[in-house]
C-alpha cells in the first residue's frame, strides 16, 4: 500500500516536513509515502530548498549535492538508475515490473 499526501496544507509544509510525512507512511505500514511537489521545490526558479544555505550544507556534509536539471535530463537520469540497479534487484529475487 502506498500513501499519498496532498492538499493545501501539505503544500505549505517544508521539505523536511514532507520527508517526515513520507517516513510516517512507512511507520503506518505502507510500502512508501508520496508527497506532492509544489512549485518552488525541485530545481525551479523559486527552489526554496536549493536556496537555503543550511539545507545545502547539510546535504553536502552527508555527501549529497543539489543538481538542477531539466525534466528530460531527470527522466534520463532515472532511466539510467533503473537500468543500473536492475541486475542487483533481479539477483535479489525480487520481481521486476
Q: Are strands 2-5 and 32-35 parallel, antiparallel or unpaired?
A: parallel
- Render pLDDT for 64-95 as a digit per residue (tens, 0 to 9): 877 777 788 888 988 998 899 888 888 888 77
Please list the alpha-helical segments (H only) found in 28-70.
48-51, 53-61
User: Chain centroid to CA 58: how far?
Assistant: 16
pLDDT digits (tens, 9 = 90+) for 22-54: 888 888 888 888 887 765 555 444 455 566 788
- Stronger pLDDT, 76 or 15, i.e. the higher one: 76
How far is it, in rounded angstroms, from Cα 55 to Cα 28?
27
Residue bearing cell 511537489: 37
| pLDDT (0 to 100) of residue 49 | 57
Domain edges within the chain: 2-66, 69-97
∠ CA(91), CA(96), CA(97), 5° rounding? Answer: 175
Amino acid at each position: 500500500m502506498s500513501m499519498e499526501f496532498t492538499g493545501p496544507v501539505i503544500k505549505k509544509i517544508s521539505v523536511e516536513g514532507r520527508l517526515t510525512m513520507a517516513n510516517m507512511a512507512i511507520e503506518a505500514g505502507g510500502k512508501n509515502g508520496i508527497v506532492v511537489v509544489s512549485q518552488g521545490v525541485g530545481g525551479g526558479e523559486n527552489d526554496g530548498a536549493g536556496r537555503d544555505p543550511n539545507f545545502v550544507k547539510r546535504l553536502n556534509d552527508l555527501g549529497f549535492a543539489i543538481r538542477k536539471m531539466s525534466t528530460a535530463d531527470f527522466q534520463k537520469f532515472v532511466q539510467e538508475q533503473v537500468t543500473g540497479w536492475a541486475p542487483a534487484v533481479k539477483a535479489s529475487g525480487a520481481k521486476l515490473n
